[in-house]
Amino acid sequence: MNLPAVAIVGLGATEFSKNSGRSEMQLACEAAHAAVQDSGLTGSDIDGMATFSMDNNWEIEIHRQIGGQELRFFARTEFGGGGALGPFAHAVSAIQTGQCQAAIIYRAMNERSGLRFGSGEIMNMNTLNPDMIHFSHYFPTGFMTPAAWIAMCTRRYMHKYGATSEDFGRIAVSMRDFAASNPAAFFYQQPLTLEQHQQSKLIADPLRLFDCCQESDGAVAFVVTSLERARDLPNTPVEIASVRQCAVPASRQITPFYHADIAHFPEFDALSCDLFRRADTAPNELDFACLYDHFTPAILPQLEAFGFCAPGEAADFVKDGHISRGGKLPVNTNGGQLGEAYIHGLNGIAEVVRQMRGTSANQLERSDQALVTAGAGVPTGAAILRKQA
């Protein structure tokens, strides 16, 4: 089946901050409107909307305010940051099947000034919803922050391969190096040393403060449409060469404790081959990657799952500088969620678009093809994006 290609043509974002001073709806409207303006389309051209289940802004509210007319497609994806690429999968399918012509993908959150995921107050309520039934097996023990949940996987990775906290520190140092030269990053002009990382306080052993992404307010939005139409629009089209979601039988909502081996993220292992096959490319043909970095150790199994190095060798791959400035696979050139901001993965996808347009603050010489991933430790997704002439 030869499906029409779909591309990202518009990008919009608010500033990233610790206190936006405005509602999440306003953030969503601002980013979505900016994305539409950037794309060369108008609000009335937008007939599809896709976002995360965790987003608090209804599709129809944003669509109406950006000047939308008839909304013909709307869809949401579950599982927190694991849902970062689901909206792209939805929009691509909807455009390919003619359900809509141009869709906005958006995520807006006051995660720092509003409900902080790391505060232990996430979903502190007592109702018969699926979240609470699920989290009932963890919250009553105080096991209730993403850092603590992911720390369990990190511990097993260390046990299996001998990785150390310093290995995670080198990832933080690399991301903060990119952030230091990105004016949009929270840690702009604030690089980190390995020593500072090692001295930072324990959050959930073995995770230290600088292993953790930031808490952020902000919004990011994209406009996607067919590649054919994209060629008539002003921006360099960024083709969604392949996008895949994945869960496996032992997958759980950010409590990935029941896989036989939790040192890895089996969702990524399972989708990797198919992702490359559909994009007709291979790991060594990619120029860079934006990998989901809620916590530094999550980078390691991802480098292995996508074939950039063999299982157990990711710490050395990092140590050899391959993911850093000037390396063979620069990772998170915006500074990542550790260094730029935590907008549930969408700001990493935005960085891929900027790199392919030639407008990144840390512009690479070659940035034609990249991998992006959604949340780790949850049912998740990944995509390969490709610059089109």
Partner 1 sequence: MNTALSDLEQAIEPLRKRYIGQRVGPYLAWNKVSRTQIWQWCAAMGDTHPEYLGGETAIAPPTMLQSWTFRDVHGDYAPGSTDQNTYEVLGKLDELGYFGSVAVSYDQQYLEYLHEGDHVHSFSTISDISALKNTALGTGCFVTELAEYFRQDKTLIGTATITYLKYQPNQTSTGAPPSSPRKIERIRPVENTDSQHYWQGLRDGKLLIQQCSDCDVSRHPPQPMCEACQSINWHTVESTRRGKIYSFTSIHHPEIPPFDSPNCIVLVDLDEGVRIAAQITGVKYDELKIGMPVRANIVEVQKGLSLPIFEVEQ
248 scored as a contact of partner 1 (CB under 8 A)? no
304: which 2 tokens? 């292995």
148 scored as a contact of partner 1 (CB under 8 A)? yes
Interatomic CA distance for residues 61 and 74, integer angstroms: 12
Residue 261 CB, shortest distance to partner 1, in Å, is 10
Considering beta carbons, is residue 118 or 348 the nearer one to partner 1? 118
Interatomic CA distance for residues 378 and 381, integer angstroms: 9
3 state DSSP class of 208: strand
Binding segment (CB under 8 A) for partner 1, from list 6-14, 78-86, 123-131, 316-324 = 123-131
Considering beta carbons, is residue 119 or 359 the nearer one to partner 1? 119
Q: How many CB atoms lie within 10 A of CB 129?
A: 11
Return the residue of 156, 181, 236, 269 that touches partner 1, per CB under 8 A.
Answer: 156
Interatomic CA distance for residues 87 and 342, integer angstroms: 18
Residue 119 CB, shortest distance to partner 1, in Å, is 6
- Residue found under tokens 């980078």: 299
**Do the beta carbons of residue 335 and residue 302 sit within 8 Å?**
no
Let me know if 157 is a catalytic residue: no
326 scored as a contact of partner 1 (CB under 8 A)? no
Return the residue of 5, 28, 151, 171 that touches partner 1, per CB under 8 A.
Answer: 151
137 scored as a contact of partner 1 (CB under 8 A)? yes
162 scored as a contact of partner 1 (CB under 8 A)? no
Count residues near partner 1 (CB under 8 A).
45
- Rounded to 5°, angle at Cα 51 from 49 and 54: 145
Q: What 8-state DSSP symbol labels residue 148?
A: H
Binding segment (CB under 8 A) for partner 1, from list 119-127, 188-196, 230-238, 283-291 = 119-127
Interatomic CA distance for residues 181 and 176, integer angstroms: 9
Return the residue of 1, 2, 70, 128 that touches partner 1, per CB under 8 A.
Answer: 128
End-to-end CA distance of the chain: give it in Å, rounded. 24
141 scored as a contact of partner 1 (CB under 8 A)? yes
Interatomic CA distance for residues 102 and 229, integer angstroms: 9
**Do the beta carbons of residue 84 and residue 351 sit within 8 Å?**
no
- Residue found under tokens 């995770």: 207
215: which 2 tokens? 């808490």
208: which 2 tokens? 């230290």
Residue 101 CB, shortest distance to partner 1, in Å, is 37
202 scored as a contact of partner 1 (CB under 8 A)? yes
Let me know if 342 is a catalytic residue: yes
3 scored as a contact of partner 1 (CB under 8 A)? no
Return the residue of 196, 257, 278, 312 that touches partner 1, per CB under 8 A.
Answer: 257
199 scored as a contact of partner 1 (CB under 8 A)? no
Binding segment (CB under 8 A) for partner 1, from list 60-68, 74-82, 88-96, 121-129 = 121-129
- Residue found under tokens 């490359």: 276
299 scored as a contact of partner 1 (CB under 8 A)? no
Interatomic CA distance for residues 95 and 206, integer angstroms: 44
198: which 2 tokens? 């090692």
Q: Tell me which residues are annotated as active site.
A: 292, 342
* Residues in touch with partner 1 (CB under 8 A): 17, 19-21, 113, 118-120, 124, 126-128, 132-134, 136-145, 147-148, 151-153, 155-156, 159, 201-206, 209, 249, 255, 257-258, 262
